[in-house]
Structure 1
Amino acid sequence: MTEKWEPSPEALEQGLYVAYAALSTMAVVPIYFGSFASLKKWKNPKQKKKSKKDSKEDSDDSDDEDEVTESMSLEDAYMFPVFGSMTLFGLYLVFRYVDKTYVNYLLTAYFGLLGVMATTQVGVNCVAPIVKLIGINVDKWHLTLTKKKKELYAAKFTILHLIMMVVSVLLSGYYVATKNWIASNIFGICFALNAIQLLALDSFKTGMILLSGLFLYDIFWVFGTEVMVSVAKNFDAPVKVIFPRLFFGLPADQAYQFAMLGLGDIVIPGVFVALCLRFDQHLAGTKNPNLGRSTRFSKPYFTACFIAYALGLGTTIYVMHTFKAAQPALLYLSPACILSVLFMGLIRGEIKEVFAYTSEEGIEAAKAKEEEEKKKQEEKKKAAEDKKVPALVKTDSVVSEKASSASDSDQEKSPKLRKRKGGKAQKSKK
């Protein structure tokens, strides 16, 4: 019987430092590049807006386009911890009462498909600038699905999308077959990059409420219950980044023991850091209306929040390592990000501008919501008017029916009256 191999305390300590450094790198890299990817071309507010037809023609011919983003409003920020808690507890119950093997089969298929889309997009974003720098022209294809002249789906892609999709499918197949931790990390980083790029907070107020709500969410589910830790251990899907606790010097017959960091601890603070960068662009654009796509502007809020995130993550790792227990990362990350923005606003005397700022996505979402509410009100008014019109027609018909019946009765009665009058006249003649 072979003895169980155990690493020396010194080797284990060094291995943990390597793991912590790797996790920190996999956290800050998506936030940094995702924040810059979320920037849109600065548009001069004083410039006349183009007509829809002209803008559509420009977008069809131009390669300089922005990705469509999803804006998170104040209502979404309030409800996010609620829905997150419901989902987390639901997963906990599923893993407790259902065979986790079958659950993970389903999750693997689902995240394998999402991984193909995420890695394809990230791959194109990485390769396209290199191809453009080399000077290779890539034709753009347009795919439009219509039904009875109504557009159902429209997509634009190049040969780069097809190549990266093939690579992504192969990588996804490899992950599904082996559950390799490196492939899982690639998917996790791509998920984080896409989420930070495509999910936008509409204001600092929304961001602060979101971080505050998830601050309480993390404390409750980590310290108050076993739910968070249990789901994290059983959830076999690329929703976290992991790294072996002992990567160098581990014998080949020994299994890795991993340290992990959830994607929520990257994405949620990451969208707040990206908001800071867009605010810096807003301040620079108001001074320089011709800023365009240039990133050469002062970035005090982005720099402060990014450094605060790194320090908060370092504090999380230090406390976790010291007490040898899992820590809710947002317990340290949320206050770090929020306070960095508040301190920078106070130091620069721009605290009013911070709370008054609304992102371009937020303004567009608010306009769309107002238009939708107007349409609903108009539909309600129209429905109410439609209800009134039949009622008026009905009452008019009833009145006309009564009038006609009255006239008919008068006509029926009149001959009798004539006969009676005629009889009286004849009698008087006699």
Structure 2
Amino acid sequence: MEAIWEVLYLLEPASLTLILTAVAVTFGSALRALNYGKEMERNRDLSEESITLDRSQALMIPVMSSCGLLLTFYLFSLISQLLTAFTAVSSVMALYFCLSPYVTYLKLQFGLADPFVSRCCSKSITRSQMFLVLVSSGIVVAWLVSGHWVLNNLLGISICIAFVCHVRLPNIKICALLLVCLFVYDIFWVFFSERVFGANVMVSVATQQASNPVHTVADSLSLPGLQLITKKLELPVKIVFPRNLMGGMVPGGSTADFMMLGLGDMAIPAMLLALVLCFDHQKSKDIVNPGDRSSFKGHKYIWYALPGYAVGLVAALAVSGFTNSPQPALLYLVPSTLGPVIFISWIRKELTELWEGTKLNLNEKARLTEV
């Protein structure tokens, strides 16, 4: 009976908000990746702005992630300022990428002019682009000054969406390889790293607060007002929600007062969702009969992967509450998302096609290049 009460915390506002936000961000990232791919094809942009992972790159991601995790664990105090600066620049770029479609939509809807205002790095900059840069920079500066968790989440979500759009998976074979490797990676660093390194490396890094460069500047210039406002920062490598969500939390509160979920626990499953969304889109284009097209809508792979993500996330949070210890979310998310997609595709006899991936996009690119 006591165990049931431990799990009931999932019905609290903070838990529900975390679950709904993670599901929405994961699906939104995949949908934005699909639309971004369509946009690139429409514009015949063959500049390879997005990276399609191959087998060696998929294998290197867990290795490089492990090296980065250890580097941060041992040298965090030395590289804290550098991490904050790198995160700030990345956040400006990610925010710009995420906000630009809405600005473009408003320009088209209202017929707004968008003249060029200057040139930078041999590229012309329009008025709307300059406006977006200023808005994105302003949001990042506000985060640096206040360290508020809402701004932290906004930046983290933007980085997640931008990552999923620019790093793609070609087929389920590479996807399964990446997910299985990260599955092992997550389990090791959460469950077994303490035996090797004397501390839970993943949890230690996730809960570290970075030095605030604005606070450093305020100290050097002796600005007491700014010194009081600026606090240590939660880097936007995770989304966080105060456990007392309705009551709110002051910036700079203890990490124990927050529920958190790493960006990787949204971005990696979102890459799978983006892959199946693209596959569903390609299959729907191949259907000629309108009656078959309407019946296909209820059998898209995304409607198996997305609920699977929600189930896996709830299971991870429930086990964490039951055991009162952090859990590697990918331990639950990988089987609950990859499993249904592979099983359903095997039932439909489409596993080979999904496993190897469609080569249509490459052929289309070659044809467009010739044209």
TM-score scaled by length of structure 1: 0.67
SS of 1:38 mapped into structure 2? helix
Larger radius of gyration: 1
1:184 and 2:152 matched: yes
Change (3 A) 1:358 1:333: same
Change (3 A) 1:359 1:110: farther
Residue in structure 1 matched with residue 104 of structure 2 by the alignment: 128
Residue in structure 2 matched with residue 114 of structure 1 by the alignment: 90
The 2-side partners of 1:36 and 1:83 are apart by 27
Change (3 A) 1:15 1:315: closer
1:218 and 2:201 matched: no
The 1-side partners of 2:115 and 2:362 are apart by 33
Q: Is the 8 A contact 2:51 2:167 kept in 1?
A: yes
Tell me by how many angstroms 1:359 deviates.
Answer: 5.9
Change (3 A) 1:126 1:311: farther
The letter for the 1-side match of 2:281 is Q
SS of 1:243 mapped into structure 2? strand
Residue in structure 2 matched with residue 150 of structure 1 by the alignment: none
The letter for the 2-side match of 1:132 is L
Between the aligned residues of both structures, percent identity stands at 30
Residue in structure 2 matched with residue 73 of structure 1 by the alignment: 54
Q: 1:233 aligns with which of 207, 218, 224?
A: 207
Tell me by how many angstroms 1:173 deviates.
Answer: 1.2
The 1-side partners of 2:8 and 2:252 are apart by 18
Q: Is the 8 A contact 1:200 1:361 kept in 2?
A: no
The 1-side partners of 2:161 and 2:303 are apart by 18
The 1-side partners of 2:260 and 2:352 are apart by 39
TM-score scaled by length of structure 2: 0.76
Deviations 1:330-372 (A, max 9, x none): 000111111111122123221222213146677799x9xxxxx
1:41 and 2:41 matched: no
Unaligned runs of 5+ in 1: 1-9, 45-54, 146-152, 290-295, 368-430
Q: Is the 8 A contact 2:62 2:182 kept in 1?
A: yes
Change (3 A) 1:19 1:283: same
Change (3 A) 1:339 1:88: same
Q: Is the 8 A contact 2:59 2:177 kept in 1?
A: yes
The 2-side partners of 1:142 and 1:286 are apart by 44
1:85 and 2:61 matched: no
Moved more, 65-74 or 248-257: 248-257
Q: 1:172 aligns with which of 134, 140, 158?
A: 140
Deviations 1:3-33 (A, max 9, x none): xxxxxxx9x9769721222222332222222
Residue in structure 2 matched with residue 24 of structure 1 by the alignment: 19
Residue in structure 2 matched with residue 270 of structure 1 by the alignment: 270
Unaligned runs of 5+ in 2: 194-199, 211-234, 290-294, 367-371
The size of the alignment, in residue pairs, is 324
The 2-side partners of 1:16 and 1:250 are apart by 17
The letter for the 2-side match of 1:325 is S
RMSD: 3.7
The 2-side partners of 1:109 and 1:254 are apart by 18
